[in-house]
Structures are given as structure tokens and as C-alpha cells.
A and B are shown apart, each in its own frame.
Chain A
């Protein structure tokens, strides 16, 4: 604003919404005014005003603040004044709050006592190397942690055979019930619909070759070889693996794991072993059940949509599954899947931090890791079977 337009004002002086600024020799005088409320957005617009004042009065030595024209104020005024104080300190100018009311001065003194250093986000080579080293260290720790967990599980498993394990039979039975019997409804639904869907999809293709009866071969082989084990594993990962992670993570959060240790009770033997063994035993059984239910799904389509007789469909299925290896291979896979889900769920649960956010991360991570490992291990099994001419 020029002197010509407002002859009473000197260069750099202003009369804004939030403050009036006057020059007084080598000092500036800010008179805060108006209604200062957090909800009113005072800090943002006042900061813009203040930036204009500061940039056009760089020659001044110090700035004096008073609040004689203020109507009301809350913490937004303190935040603004603290901002002014820091900006003035950064540019080597004085901040004089003597004209402010005692209450404001006291709050200003409290908020400015100790300020944490700003964490640098600027890139530097050292920071990059440190970041890389930290990442490498974490990766090493994770691998080491996994190896220790696996070794501890194996030793607990071996102790079971020589009768020195702290695992209770009732915990194993309870784990079997939770992992197995309680999962029957969801496994029934998923596997029946999987068989049904495969039959519908396959029938469209097979009809082109007038080979619709081979739908029984397609459904039965796909179920026992692949889909039964895979669908059960995915259901178990989302249902039981996540439950293990949540349960053990919550126990860690409440110091229940620590209290077990202080009684000389190994969490590995007492908590992890029954859960993983329960899953190891139940997953193949559920897979076998899922195979049967999936085939029944195919049978439903075959008899109700394609007009085959039950006996015809059954004979075709039986001829497709003449070699029991197809069934066994699915069961071998399911054993590996069960172990993976149990170990990952327990490992993630025991490894979660002592806050609720890390518990949530542990549960999510257990499901994602289990499903990823299941798909990878499934592929490895198929490659191995193929190389060994077992397909």
C-alpha cells in the first residue's frame, strides 16, 4: 500500500482483519484484534497477514505484540503467537510479548519450553545408506526370528514324542474342535459352490465336443488334486490363522504371554503346539470332506441340469479317480498348508507389538503371508510332481 493512498501510514504499515501493524522507530508494533477461534480458521489467514508484514518490514530489529483490541481468543491465538515467535527467532529478530495479557503469556511460555527437533526429510547419501542398513538389519532379524521360531517349534514337537512336552491334551482337542468341527459349515458352502461352478463352466466347453459326461472327471479330479486343498487352506487362513494371530497378539498385549514365561511355562509348548497340531490334523480331514462335497456339487449340476443319472455320474467319477494318488497328493498338500497357516498365524501373533495397531497389522499380515505362501507352495508341489512323473 503506498503512502499516496493512505497518507497517515508509513511504508510497510497495515490494518488487516487480525492485526494492525505500526512502525515505531526500529521496532514494529502488532495489535492483535478480532475473534480468535480454532473453528474460525484464524491461524491460517492471520499467518498470511503476518507473512506480508514480516516480508515488508525486514529492516526492523524487533516486533512488539499487544492485544488491546481483541474480542475473544482461544488456543488458535497461542498457536499463531508461537509461530510468530519462531519465525522471528529464525530471522534473528526480537519478539516482545510484554503487551499481551497475563493468561496468554503463561500459555505461550508453556508451549514454547521444549520443542522437539524437526526430523530431517532431506535426502542425503548418509541417510540413504543408513536407511538401507536399517532395512537390511530388519530383514536379517526377520529371517533369524523365523528360523528360531521354526527350530523352537520342531524341538517342542520332538519333546512331545518323548513325553516331556508342556502341551495339554485338552488344549489340542479344543484346537481340533475350533479348527475342524466349527469350520464345517463354511467349508461345506465353499466347496459345494466350487464344485457347482466348475461343473457349470466346464459343461459349456465340453458340450462343444459332445463330451458332457466328462464333467464328472473334470470336477472330481480338480477337486481332489487342487481345489479341495486350496479352498480349505484359504478358508483356514482367513478364519483360523487370523484367529490365532489375534488371540496370541491380544495375549501378548495383556502380558499373558509374559506371565506364562514367569511360571516357567513355554508359550511354544502351551499355546503354539496345540494350535498348529490341531490345524495340521484337521486340514487334511477338512480337505477330504471338501473333496466329497465338491464332487456332490458337480453331481447336482450333472443330474439336475445335464440330465445324467446319479449312477452314471458316480461310475464316471469312480473311473476318473481310479488311481488314489490323485487324492493322496491333495492330502499331502493340505498337510503342508495346515502347517503353514498354523505357524504363520502363531508367529505373527507372538511377534505383534504391545499396541492395538500392531495387533491389527499382525492379523492382516498373517492372512496375506499365509495365502501367498499357500499359492507358492502349491505351485512348488505341482512342479515337483510333474518332474517326478507323478501326474
Chain B
């Protein structure tokens, strides 16, 4: 991408600087740098095995980077001490691919647990907040259900309610539309857009579902498994038409004729 086209923000809620990621001796990504502005949705794209989920793990504190920084409101996630790190973790929520709800707890207890752990609210108030979060995602009335009693889409929505429990600045999503039918997937996209507009939450979404990407993304980065780096950044619609990389254009236009598998 040309230098003059790179977006810069005054107050990035998330800034990733020169991130190198590896599993033992296997390098997954190198020198990844990008930032996300407040109240926007950044989509992390790329083919299978390009390191999208690995990058997400580093951003949410599950995989320490070999090099580089993950700054959330200028606080470095990986070099912070225990107390500070716990405080940084409270500023974001994560929705995992399968929802990752705690299966031994009801939906209400799932949403209550982060509140009980990180706030001093009395139990009745914690319950009320949790009920409100569940109603935000359209799950009012399902408070006493266990995750095993829910459909895939409902699990994701419950996961979203739990991720929003502590009113985070950023929400990280791992493949939100994976395993969902087109209609449920579309509803989840609408919910993301609604929450972004009404609550001003910043979203970082890992996805390779094009219809969902075009629907929710304000900005995107494209990871490449060959160069193991961030190949390009920009608005998805712009990338589909104007990317200097044929692989990116092929990906964005779902065109296999010009791309090697």
C-alpha cells in the first residue's frame, strides 16, 4: 500500500508494533504493525494458515510474542506487571469461535463471573447487569439455560454478552460467522454494527467470510502465509478493486482463476 494511503489515528485504542510470532522454531508472522481507531471495526483477513488466529492469541494475551509490543491505550500488554496486566485484560472482551462458554454454568452465571471477579458490586446488582447484557444480545429469558441447550448462533450471542460484561473498550472476535447459517450470520453482523454505533465499542474481527467482512469492516489488514507478514491494509471494498497484490484481489473477489492454491 502506498505511504500516503496509510490511515493514522490520533488516539489508537490498539496499536501493534513490530510483532514477531512463532511456535517454537516455526515463525508464523514477522514485523506486523498496525493500529485500530476508536469505535471502528478492523477485520484481520487472509487465507487458511496465514496466522490470523495466532495474531489474535497474541493480542488477547494467550501467546507471548517473540518480539514487538501490543499497546492497549498506550499500555503494553506483554511487558506489564501482574496487577497492570490484569487491569489491561479487563479493558477487552473476547468472543471465541465456538463461544467458549463455561459449560458447567448457566448463561447468567457465565456473564456474572467476570463481574464477580473484577468488580465489588453486590450479587443482586451483578445479576441485574448480567441480565441486561443478555437482553442486549436478544437472549432475555434464557438466563437459566446451560450452553449445551443452545444453538450455535445463541452460543455466539451469549459469548458476546459475556465478552461485553465488563463494558470493554475493545471486543475481539474469532471467526464470528463460522458454523452459522447465512441468516444467523447476517444477524450477528447487524448486532456488531449496532453495538459499534450505539456503545462505541471497537471491534477487531478475525474472519475470512467475505460477505461478513464487507458488512462490518471499516478497515482491514491482510496477512500472507508466504511472506509471513502483513501484506496490505485498507478498506475491504477498496482492496478488492485497487490492491497492488493480485492474491489480495483474488481473495477479495473470490476469484480462483488468477490465484495459485
Question: In A61-106, which residues have CB < 8 Å from any B CB?
Answer: none
**Chain B, interface size: which category?**
20 to 34
Interface residues of A in 265-312 (CB under 8 A from B): 265
CB <8 Å contact, A255 and B96: yes
A residues 208-256 in Cβ contact with B at 8 Å: 250-251, 254-256
Q: How far is the CA of A100 from the CA of B61 in the complex (A)?
A: 57
Does A261 reach chain B (CB closer than 8 Å)? yes
Q: Is the CB of A263 within 8 A of B117?
A: yes
* Contact (A258, B96) CB under 8 Å given A166-B117, A263-B114: yes
Q: Is B100 an interface residue (CB 8 A)?
A: yes
**A258 and B100 form a contact (CB under 8 A):** yes
Question: Does chain A have a CB within 8 A of B6?
Answer: no
When chains A and B are docked, how far (Å) is the Cα of A251 from the Cα of B102?
Answer: 8
A interface: dominant SS: helix
Chain B: CB-nearest residue to A171: B104
Say whether B98 contacts A254, CB under 8 Å: yes
Interface-side segment among B10-18, B86-94, B126-134, B211-219: B86-94
- Could you tell me the distance between the alpha carbons of A258 and B101 in the complex, rounded to whole angstroms? 11
Tell me, in angstroms, the Cα distance from A260 to B166 when the chains sit together. 14
Contact, CB under 8 Å: B90 / A251? no
In Å, the complex CA distance between A255 and B162 comes to: 14
Q: Does B139 contact A (CB under 8 A)?
A: no
B96-A261 in contact (CB<8A): no
| Residue A259 at the chain B interface, CB threshold 8 Å | yes
Residues of B within 8 A of A256 (CB): 100-103
**Quick one: given A265-B113, A265-B117, are A255 and B98 in contact (CB under 8 Å)?**
yes
Q: Are A262 and B60 in contact (CB under 8 A)?
A: yes
Find chain A residues with CB under 8 A from B187 CB: none
Beta-carbon contact of B113 and A263 below 8 Å:
yes
Does any Cβ of A come within 8 Å of B118's Cβ?
yes
Q: CB of A264 within 8 A of chain B?
A: yes
Q: Which residues of A contact B97 (CB under 8 A)?
A: 255
Instruction: Tell whether B62 is near chain A: CB-to-CB under 8 Å.
Output: yes
Cβ–Cβ < 8 Å partners of B113 in chain A: 263, 265
- Chain A CB within 10 A, most for which of B103, B113, B117: B117
With CB as the reference atom, state the residue of chain B lying closest to A247: B104
Contact, CB under 8 Å: B100 / A255: yes
The reply to whether B90 and A258 form a contact with Cβ atoms under 8 Å apart is no
Closest to B114 in A: A263
> How many angstroms from the CA of A328 to the CA of B102 in the assembled complex?
40
Chain B 155-185 interface mask (CB, 8 Å, partner A; 1/0): 0000000100010000000000000000000
A259 to B60, CA, bound (A): 10
Alpha-carbon distance between A52 and B229 when the two chains are bound, in angstroms: 53
| Contact A254 to B89, CB < 8 A, known contacts A261-B61, A262-B94 | no
Closest Cβ–Cβ distance, residue A214 to chain B (whole Å): 50
> In the complex the two chains form, what is the Cα distance from A251 to B96 in whole Å?
13
- CB of B27, distance to nearest CB on chain A (Å): 19
Contact partner of A251 (CB less than 8 A), chosen from B61, B89, B103, B162, is B103
| Given A264-B117, A265-B117: A259 and B94 interface contact (C-beta under 8 Å) | yes
Is there an interface contact between A264 and B100, defined as CB atoms closer than 8 Å? Answer: no
Q: A250 CA to B89 CA in the complex, in Å? A: 24
CB distance from A171 to the nearest CB of B (A): 10
Could you give, for residues 92-128 of chain B, a 1 whenever the CB lies within 8 Å of some chain A CB and a 0 otherwise?
1110111011110000000001100110000000000
Taking CB atoms and an 8 Å cut-off, the chain A residues in 292-339 that contact chain B are none
Closest A residue, CB atoms, query B97: A255
How long is the Cα–Cα vector from A255 to B99 in the complex, in angstroms? 8
Contact B118 A264 (CB under 8 A): yes
Closest to B85 in A: A264
Chain A neighbourhood of B100, CB < 8 A: 254-256, 258-259
- Selected contact of B86 from candidates A255, A259, A260, A264, CB within 8 Å: A264
Query: Chain B 200-239, CB within 8 Å of chain A: the 1/0 string?
Result: 0000000000000000000000000000000000000000
Residues of chain A having any CB pair with chain B under 8 Å:
166, 250-251, 254-256, 258-265
23 A-B pairs (CB sep. < 8 Å): A251-B102, A251-B103, A255-B97, A255-B98, A256-B101, A256-B103, A258-B62, A258-B100, A259-B94, A259-B100, A259-B102, A261-B62, A262-B60, A262-B89, A262-B92, A262-B93, A263-B89, A263-B90, A263-B118, A264-B85, A264-B117, A264-B118, A265-B117
A-B CB proximity, top 5 nearest? A255-B100, A264-B89, A259-B100, A264-B86, A262-B94
Q: A262-B89, A263-B117, A264-B86 are in contact. List 18 more A-B contacts (CB 8 A).
A: A166-B117, A251-B102, A251-B103, A254-B98, A254-B103, A255-B98, A256-B100, A258-B62, A258-B96, A259-B100, A259-B102, A260-B102, A261-B61, A262-B93, A264-B117, A264-B118, A265-B113, A265-B114
